[in-house]
């Protein structure tokens, strides 16, 4: 294993609940890093592996998230974690783009750009669409179980309750 793709919301940072629905941060105040990501990252960064972020951010095209705020979030991540690249889909469903997960477009883009070996990569997400995108790209997946999500109509290779559990998987797989 030499490449790890991370979904962003619900994996790197906490999701935000709005009116009982799962949502994502729209301000820097709402952009809170997950403790288990921070502790797991310290271990990842010692491994010589490619780390990428692959995230749907439809709130941009919905006018709910300012592009400058998203840029500030990315800068915060890059200062602290130095991902090889952070890739977003800014589209909404109606746009019919090729990047919005569950489509594999963002993963395929990074695979080709960085000559990633798909069988040595893994994608970690907290949403069914992450698992479907990884499967469509031929990349193994880890589902991060949380109180706000549940699995249906997809088959991740692994499921965990905390990112603390993924290091042995990455070593093994």
H or E segment to which residue 124 belongs: strand 121-125
Contact between 116 and 110 under an 8 Å Cβ cutoff? The reply is: yes
- Selected from 22, 76, 97, 169, the binder of Zn ion by CB under 5 A is 97
* 122 near Zn ion (CB under 5 A): no
Calpha distance 78→124 (Å, rounded):
18
The residue ranges that bind Mg ion (CB under 5 A) are 7, 9-10, 126-127
Phi-psi region of 142 (alpha: psi -120 to 50; beta: other; left: phi over 0): beta
Q: Nearest-CB residue to Mg ion? A: 10
- In whole angstroms, how close is the CB of 66 to Zn ion at the nearest point? 18
Q: Does 103 bind Zn ion (CB under 5 A)?
A: no
Of residues 46 and 74, the one with the C-beta less far from Mg ion = 74
**Using the rule CB under 5 A, is 76 a contact of Zn ion?**
no
Is 143:90 a contact under the CB 8 Å cutoff? no
Footprint on this chain of Zn ion (rule: CB under 5 A)? 89, 91, 97, 99-100
């Amino acid at each position: 294993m030499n490449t790890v793709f991370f979904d962003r919301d619900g994996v790197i940072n906490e999701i935000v609940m709005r009116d009982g629905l799962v949502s994502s941060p729209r301000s820097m105040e709402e952009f809170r890093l997950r403790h288990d990501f921070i502790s797991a990252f310290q271990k990842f960064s010692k491994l010589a592996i490619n780390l990428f972020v692959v995230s749907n951010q439809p709130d941009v095209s919905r006018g709910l998230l300012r592009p400058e705020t998203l840029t500030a979030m990315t800068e915060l991540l890059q200062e602290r974690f130095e991902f090889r690249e952070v890739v977003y889909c800014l589209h909404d469903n109606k746009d019919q783009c090729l990047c919005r997960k569950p489509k594999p477009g963002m993963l395929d883009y990074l695979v080709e750009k960085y000559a990633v070996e798909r069988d040595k990569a893994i994608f970690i997400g907290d949403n069914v669409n992450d698992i479907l995108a990884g499967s469509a790209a031929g990349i193994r997946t880890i589902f991060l179980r949380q109180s706000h999500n549940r699995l249906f109509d997809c088959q991740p290779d692994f499921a965990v309750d905390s990112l603390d559990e993924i290091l042995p998987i990455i070593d093994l797989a």
